[in-house]
Every structure is written in structure tokens, then in C-alpha cells.
Structure 1
Amino acid sequence: MFSSLSHAEETLQPQEDGKEILTILNWSDYMDSEVIREFEEMYNVQVKEVYFETEDLRTDMLLRATGKKIDLVVCNDIAIRAYAKIGWIEPLAREEIPNLKYIDPRWQKLSPESQRYGVPYLWGTTGIAYRKDKVTTPVKSWKALFQPNEELRQKILMVNDVGDIFGMALKLLGYSANSTDPENYEEVEKLLVSQRPFVRNYGYISLDESSVLVTGDVWMAMIYNGDAIALMEYQPSIEYIVPDEGGNIWVDYLCVMQSSDNKKLAAKFINFLNIPKNAARIAVSAYYASPNKAAEKLLPEDFLNNPTIYPSQEVLAKSEIYLPLPVNITKMKNSILSRILQK
């Protein structure tokens, strides 16, 4: 972790060419480089991306000196609520972002905080990717991942995200992904203990030809839908599903940091990204659905009709968006996962 943070801080050193620098804290491979280049040319500025690998690492980076140099951060609704509460992010200057008019209100209004502080960027689902040429039984339920067959011993990859692990395990057990009942989490712990011998690793999957799902070192993974599609380019035997119990619907937002000295430039950048043609290009390059309604009209038909990208209403109805949980439940989840990872 600390080497990643140190590297991030090195990349944030001032440039000598005098150009204004807009720095974005983002997931890797999550923003179209050509769209960025066009913005740089239009405004004669430099856009610099700094990457985080996990939600926790993003928060750690913002806590350190790195955070003082970040202008924009990509985060979900739960993080927006937390960051707004401690004063890290700035309320939107809506008058400076006229292209907000293109955003679908259902994603803008998930919470008062997301409406006040964030601009929806992309949305997607959490599900299962598996090698259909390796896995011999049909994959329809979260049971395939959490109560796997013997053939999957040491062949499973789980995301290292406490929300996804517990949320989807709760769905399998018949509970809400946002359960506040401690007894439900005791059941999840038993489930995760029994699953542990089948898990090769807890982490985030690489998205190139060396990915363990492409090479066959892993046959099944908890994954985000766009990542699954990216891997299908290298290995057509990869299949993605949102299980019958439903999955997680997530939305990522762009937020302006309160400490930024480039708030007006940040607003211009957000507005530029939401020009419909740019929002469409970003969606296609990342393999995720756009919250920009005008952009949807510009997307290729096969993209719009791909159920991995735009799931059916039936799938959406069974899936849940994560909500903030009581402190005691959050601590319980973290303690359980820590015990699991030590096994």
C-alpha cells in the first residue's frame, strides 16, 4: 500500500511547462484517453490521472498529502456520503455544469448527498464471470461461487471488497444486501469459512491477456460487468451473469475536492465529459452503461442491447444498491473479513 501511495505522490509533482494541471483520482482504465486529450487541447491544460486499486486505498490516499493535490475523485454513493460528512468534497457548482441536464434523474437522486456533491459517471452491476469451457455445471446462482463444486478448489477469485463479498453472500442466504441483523452476518461468516479453501485470491482482476481468468488459473470470479466484457476480448469462453438472486447495482460519481485550487477547471472537465458524444465514447471504451440519457441515443445498437451492459428490468428489480450501514455492522463485517483473509 505505502509503495503505491509513494508512487502516486511522485506523479503529482508540479510540471515545468506552466500549464494548469487537473488531477483526477480514479480507477485505472476507466476514462477514455482521447476524450482527455481533446479537453487538454481545447483548454491548454494537462489532465493527470492517479489510480487507486481499492476503495480503502482511495480513502488512504486522500488522507495523506496526496489528497491535497487531487482536484476530482471518482467514488460511489456511500463514499460521497462519508466524504461530504467530513468536508472533503465540494457541493456542485451546478451553474457551471450545464450538461447536467442530460443526466438521468434516477442516478442523480439516489441520496441527497449524491445529488448535491456528485455527477453520475458510469453505472454497472456486480456478478459472476466464469469459464464455460471449464465449469461443468450451469451457473445460475450465487451458490456456484459461495458453495462451489470440488472442481473449483483454488479456482475462484473474490474481489477484495467487504461490501461486495457480504452483500452478495447475504443475497444468496435470502437476506437484503443491506441487512442490519448481526445474526445474518454470523451466517455469512460460516459461508465464507467454508468457501475459503476454494478461493485462490482476494483482489481485483487484471484486464489484459495475463489475467488469471484468461489464462485459466482461475475459472470463476466475482467481478464487475465491464471488466468481464474486457476479458471476453481475450478469452471468448468467459461468460458473465447476474445470478438469479440478483446482484449489486453501483454508480460511480465525479466529485470535486474541497481542497482543490482548480474548482472551475474541474467543473469544465465534468461538463466536457457530459457532452453526449463524449459520454457515449467513455461508456464504449469502459464497457459500462452511461447515466447520460442523450449519450444513450448515440451508442451502438449492439452495445445498448447487450444485457451484460444494460441488464433487463427483471435483473434490476432483483438487485440492490448498497446503503450506508450502522457502525456496529460495518465493524462486524471488517472483523469477519479480516479473520477470513488470515486463514
Structure 2
Amino acid sequence: MWTRVLATGALVVVLTGLMGCSASLTPLPTPTTPSLASELILYDWEDDLPQSVLDLFTTEYGVQVVYKTYESQEEAMANMRAGAVYDVVVFDNDFVPQLVADGLLAEIDYRHVPNFDNISPNFRDLAYDPQNKHTVPFNWGVTALLVRSDLVEEPVTRWEDLWEREFAGKIAVRDEPREPFGMALKSLGYSINSEDPDAVQAAFDHLLEIKDKIVLVGPYAEAAVPMLLSGEAAVLVGWAEDVLLSREESLAIEWVLPEEGIMLWGDNFVIPAYSPRKYTAELFLNFLMRPEVNAQIVNENYYASPNEAARAFIDPEILHDPVIFPPDESLGNAEVFLPLSPDGEQLYQQLWERFKRMME
């Protein structure tokens, strides 16, 4: 935990006169607890935080949580740059450095977030935010493959199989560059975070080889999974949320962790630098880091949490589900999506837009 020390000084006023002198010492000011706001504006993916948890916070603290949603991280960043007012926002790891560089994030006062101690050391002090000055880890997960085994001729076990196998359907991927480029980079033996122009170009060329097999889908499982269920897609590059939704149907859908290594993502809570309710936002984060509250989030949204203390309160069926909490042996050659430099971001985005034009 990191603390900031507030120093106060005493002003000594000395009065002198012809007949003598006296001195008085101004009393030290008494620290006061900031007052709670009447409302808090949360900006996040739709349904990412259960309403039941927000209601608990309102009941305990009397603070109404206004839940605003975005459709993409790019939209969220654009609205923050435009000056829209939020108090707590959820961002992927790879957006954090640019937000910090742009002066859009407040430093978190951890005196008000003591439950940060519940976060596993494995998720603290990571490269995208040293000392967690601006972020509190929220959840994490895996990007891997959902495969309709009845629509493939041979088993799919690798990223490279997306190029080598024939499918009776498309390969569905989200409309954002990091995951499709990540699977291409992995299949070629490169890091998913490579900014080497030659490696990224090779990944682009590799993606072009299967452009006619690819169909783009939206970020939500409700939009992506039906493509798999209908058979329009034989493979979905997806997440635990997709698997859990697909389980509701009695189809032959396999969750494949590619041999070259899975891709890991992470979400974080941040407080915008211009939030007028920073203390209330910090109190809200501390509430969400309580073990039993954090476990309630996991039990309702089915994403893995970095909160170690919450594990004792997570439904055992969820805690031991390898789709949600992948086994340790599957993490040996896994890679976490890390932020790209501005030049790297531009390179990926330009090539992705070019790729989409070539799909038309």
C-alpha cells in the first residue's frame, strides 16, 4: 500500500511591546474526512457490474450509482478526452498508459482503499501501471477458441490450425485488432505484444490468407455466440462469457486452449482526473474489494477475479471451472496483452482498417 503524508506547519506569532512580550501558537488543524457525494457515475461495459452489488453500496452509504455504458474502449477514451464527467471507469490494461500520459487519470489515495491488500501480488505493480498509482485490478480472463467440433474435419488444438484446417463455417473474431493480430503472431512464433514492423506485417499477411474465412462480430457474447450456434461460424475467438452462454445449448462446442499459448486480458477500475467525487469513488472501490462483495461479482458475472481473499466466498462450481479460472498448467506459455506504444497502436490500427477494407 502506498500512502501520501500530509505535512502541516505551525505559524508562531510573536508580539513584542515596550513593557514585555507574549507568544501564541496557532492550533494545528484537525484532519477532516471528506464528505460523501449523493451520487457516483460509473462508466463500464453493459452488465459488467451486477445491479445487486450497486444496490448494496447504495443501501450502506446512501450514494446512488448512475451506471453509464459504452460500446468500446475507444468510445470511452474519446468521451473522457471530450470532458464527459465520470467517477469510476473500467479500462483494459493496454489503454492505461495513454490515459496516464494524457493526464486523464487521478492518482488513487490508498488510505481510502485499504482493501487493495486483498489483490494478489501477481496482479500488482505491473508494467502498465507501476505501483498501481492509477488502477485497481478488476477482473481477468482468457482469449482462446470455441470450436463446433461437429463442423470441423480434424481436431483444432493450435492457433495455426485456423489456417490449416477446413471448416464448415466461418471463423468469428471481434472487430478490434489485438486479438486477430495476436492469434496470427502466436501462430508465427512471435509475441502478441510485438511492435517489430516486420513481425506485425507478417501477421497481417498471414491474416490475409484466411480473410475469406473470417467474419467480424460485436464485443458482447449475445451478438457473437449466435453465429456459432447457428453454424454460420465454426470457430469463435472468444472468452469465458461466450462459453458459458453457449453451454445453454446442447451443441458440440469445445473450449480449446491453443498449444502455442493463450492470450490473457485484464480490466481495471480507474478514477478520472476531473472526477468531482474522488473520495466517494475511492470508497466505492474499497467496497468492491471486500472479499464477500468481490465474490458476489464473480458469482454473477462469471469472470475471474485477482482478489485472493474473495476466493473463499466464490461458488465452488465457478472457482473450479477451468473455463473461468484456467488451470496453472495452461498458463505456462500464456501472454498478457500489454499496452502498445503510440506508434505501435497506430501501426496495428492502420493495418486492421486496411484488412477490413480488403474483406469487403
**Alpha-carbon displacement from aligned partner over 1:217-250 (angstroms, at most 9, x marks no partner):** 3221111223322332345533222211112112
What TM-score, normalized to structure 1? 0.87
Give the counterpart letter for 1:164 in structure 2.
E
Return closer, same or farther for 1:201/1:250 CA change in 2, 3 Å cut-off.
closer
Deviation at 1:31, TM superposition (A): 1.0
Return closer, same or farther for 1:235/1:217 CA change in 2, 3 Å cut-off.
farther
SS in 1 for 2:199: helix
Question: Is structure 2 residue 186 aligned with structure 1 residue 168?
Answer: no
Unaligned 5+ segments in structure 2 are 1-36
Q: How far apart are the structure 2 equivalents of 1:201 and 1:273?
A: 34
SS in 1 for 2:340: coil
Question: Is structure 2 residue 51 aligned with structure 1 residue 36?
Answer: no
| Aligned counterpart, 2:297 | 282
Q: How far apart are the structure 2 equivalents of 1:144 and 1:298?
A: 39
Query: Which one of the candidate residues 210, 214, 227 is aligned to 1:199?
Result: 214
Q: Is the 2:94–2:337 Cα contact (8 Å) retained in structure 1? A: yes
Return closer, same or farther for 1:208/1:182 CA change in 2, 3 Å cut-off.
closer
Deviation at 1:148, TM superposition (A): 4.6
Q: How far apart are the structure 1 equivalents of 2:270 and 2:53?
A: 18
Q: Is the 1:131–1:237 Cα contact (8 Å) retained in structure 2? A: yes
What TM-score, normalized to structure 2? 0.83
Return closer, same or farther for 1:234/1:43 CA change in 2, 3 Å cut-off.
farther
Identity of aligned residues (%): 28
**Alpha-carbon displacement from aligned partner over 1:126-145 (angstroms, at most 9, x marks no partner):** 11112233333212111233
Q: Is the 2:113–2:283 Cα contact (8 Å) retained in structure 1? A: yes
278-287 or 195-204, larger mean C-alpha shift:
195-204
| Aligned counterpart, 1:50 | 68
Q: Is the 1:208–1:234 Cα contact (8 Å) retained in structure 2? A: no
Query: Which one of the candidate residues 127, 136, 140 is aligned to 2:153?
Result: 136
SS in 2 for 1:106: helix
Unaligned 5+ segments in structure 1 are 1-18
Q: How far apart are the structure 1 equivalents of 2:210 and 2:357?
A: 14
Q: How far apart are the structure 1 equivalents of 2:242 and 2:124?
A: 24
SS in 2 for 1:94: coil
The structure with the largest alpha-carbon Rg is 2
Deviation at 1:211, TM superposition (A): 2.7
Q: Is the 1:75–1:252 Cα contact (8 Å) retained in structure 2? A: yes
Q: How many residues align?
A: 321
Q: Is the 2:151–2:168 Cα contact (8 Å) retained in structure 1? A: no
Query: Which one of the candidate residues 192, 196, 205 is aligned to 1:177?
Result: 192
**Alpha-carbon displacement from aligned partner over 1:95-151 (angstroms, at most 9, x marks no partner):** 001111111121122136251111111111111112233333212111233555152
Q: Is the 1:132–1:239 Cα contact (8 Å) retained in structure 2? A: yes
SS in 2 for 1:207: helix
**Alpha-carbon displacement from aligned partner over 1:309-329 (angstroms, at most 9, x marks no partner):** 111222212111122334433
SS in 2 for 1:92: coil
Q: How far apart are the structure 1 equivalents of 2:181 and 2:121?
A: 28
| Aligned counterpart, 1:60 | 78
SS in 2 for 1:95: coil
Q: How far apart are the structure 1 equivalents of 2:229 and 2:296?
A: 26
SS in 1 for 2:335: coil
Q: How far apart are the structure 2 equivalents of 1:209 and 1:138?
A: 22
Query: Which one of the candidate residues 89, 97, 101 is aligned to 2:113?
Result: 97
Q: How far apart are the structure 1 equivalents of 2:43 and 2:152?
A: 37
Q: Kindly report which structure 2 residues correspond to 1:331-342, keeping only aligned pairs within 5 A, or say none.
A: 331-342=346-357
Give the counterpart letter for 1:93 in structure 2.
D
Return closer, same or farther for 1:270/1:146 CA change in 2, 3 Å cut-off.
farther
Q: Is the 2:167–2:234 Cα contact (8 Å) retained in structure 1? A: no
| Aligned counterpart, 1:248 | 263
Q: Which has the higher helix share?
A: 1
The runs of at least 4 aligned residues of structure 1 exceeding 4 Å deviation read none
| Aligned counterpart, 1:295 | 310
